[in-house]
Amino acid sequence: MNKISETAKLGDNVSVGDFSIIKDDVKIGNNVIIGNNVVIHEGTTIGDNIRIDDNTVIGKQPMKAVTSAVSDDELQPPCEIGDGCLIGANTVIYAGCEIGSDCLVADQASIRENVEIGEKTIIGRGVAVENYCQIGSKCKLETNVYITAYSEVEDNCFIAPGVITSNDNFAGRSEERYDYFKGVTVKEGGRIGAGATILPGKVIEEDGFVAAGSTVTKDVPAKKIVAGTPAEIFKDVPEDQLLENQ
């Protein structure tokens, strides 16, 4: 049995699986497939031609721990999901999140509040995007990537499996840390290899490339490959690999 609010608005050709809940003032477009045991929270807007798989939660209001450094108590605006998106099973997408058209959010991903994601971007299996982040269009964040709060990933970026980003040089100690929180920035066309770690506040400039397993302790120059722990400039990105030549 489903529970669909009387104030929810469903378009044409909407299929809702068993035991799903659609709360007040939700707006769902045309040609939408909603799986089993899905919860869509108040006010969420779902576009046309979207699939949402089993056990997914959309529009959840955030929780704030007593010791949280980056969450707040504000009620977040409703979640918005653009046309043509595919949302996998067991994903959680918070209120205050806007996802552009034709995106894929794979199974078990988590996208926090105050996040914007551009069109045609892939958020891979198990990816976590924390709050106050911007992800551009036509990006690929592959399996188990962690994007820390206050980060920005511009358009056409590639982040390989298992990449870790960080925003706190004080590792959770001293009140001073609150003045210095800063996520990472990956500028247009930037790429990060599997298992790399990016330290707080570091910038990967346009077409910069971080080799797999590297630890980035300083900014990565445009069109350079860096490698190692700590990462150092290795060589130029080959001309045929530059975004302008694709």
Q: HEC string of 62-97?
A: CCCCCCCCCCCCCCCCCCEECCCCEECCCCEEECCE
Structure tokens at 76: 């977040």
**The predicted structure's pLDDT at residue 68:** 64
Q: Is 228 helix (H, G, I), strand (E, B) or coil?
A: coil
Query: If you search the block for the tokens 């806007």, which residue do you land on?
Result: 98
- The CATH homologous superfamily for domain 3-245 is Hexapeptide repeat proteins (2.160.10.10)
pLDDT at 171 over 70: yes
Instruction: For the beta carbon of residue 161, count every other beta carbon within 10 angstroms.
Output: 17
Please answer whether residues 195 and 213 qualify as being in contact, where contact means their C-beta atoms are separated by less than 8 angstroms: yes
**The predicted structure's pLDDT at residue 170:** 84
Written as one letter, the residue type at 150 is: Y
Tell me 181's DSSP state: -
Using pLDDT thresholds of 50, 70 and 90, give the confidence band for residue 156.
very high
**The predicted structure's pLDDT at residue 74:** 79
Please answer whether residues 187 and 206 qualify as being in contact, where contact means their C-beta atoms are separated by less than 8 angstroms: yes
Structure tokens at 190: 């930037």
In the predicted model, what is the mean pLDDT of residues 167-180? 83
Task: Pick the range with the lowest mean pLDDT from 1-5, 70-74, 146-150, 171-175.
Answer: 70-74
Identify the burial level of 244 via C-beta atoms within 10 angstroms of its C-beta, where 0-12 means exposed, 13-18 middle and 19 or more buried.
exposed
Q: For the chain, what is the mean pLDDT?
A: 95
Beta pairing class for 122-123 and 104-105: parallel
The count of residues in the chain is 246
Q: Within 13 Å and on the Cβ side, how many CA atoms surround 113? A: 18
